[in-house]
Amino acid sequence: MKVDEAMGNAIQKHFAYTDEEMKVFMDNPRNLDVLGKAPLLASKTMVFEVVDAHGCSSQHKKGDKICFDGAGNLLTKRAPDRVCIYALSAAAGLIFAAGELLMAGIDPNEMRFKRTGCFDVGVKCGGWGRIVMELKVEDRQR
């Protein structure tokens, strides 16, 4: 992808890069490839729906949704009032995988293993609670 001066300036400002850092960034062809796919990523929302929950300290329940934009940012206005850090941590790997699939031109909803959960094993196994979430990538709501 060709980056014009205005876009280069916007990138440098957004990341607070020095001129030297910006050169390193622009000299990496993978960065240019990702920039070319930015509109695709920006058009998606990654939705984790709780499909099973019991004993969750954060009170997550079946049907709750935790949403991220295509770049992996938590959409706080579309999240429950409380979001468990361990649920966020569990989502990270699938967000990365979905982004890579999108950039490769593959539908991330075809991912075979798209469920994850917090690391708590639940009360029956010596923990407190457990949630399981499933990822679905949707077109962004306007």
Give residue for tokens 């990365």. 96
Mean pLDDT rounded to a whole number for the chain? 93
Q: Stretch 32-44: mean pLDDT, rounded?
A: 92
- pLDDT value of position 142: 65
- Confidence category of residue 11, pLDDT binned at 50, 70, 90: very high
CB atoms near residue 105 (< 10 Å): 8
Give the pLDDT confidence score for residue 17 in this predicted structure: 96
**pLDDT on residue 46:** 97
Name the token pair of 81. Answer: 């009032």
Residue 16 has pLDDT above 90, yes or no: yes
* Residue from 141, 139, 142, 73 nearest 108 by CA: 139
pLDDT tens digits along 101-124: 999 999 999 999 999 998 898 898
Give the closest residue to 67 by CA, choosing from 59, 75, 58: 75
User: Which two tokens mark 77?
Assistant: 């206005």
List, for residues 50-95, the tens digit of each pLDDT value.
999 999 999 999 999 999 999 999 999 999 999 999 999 999 999 9
Does residue 20 register a pLDDT over 70?
Answer: yes
For 128-141, how does the pLDDT look when each residue is reduced to its tens digit (9 = 90+)? 999 999 999 999 97
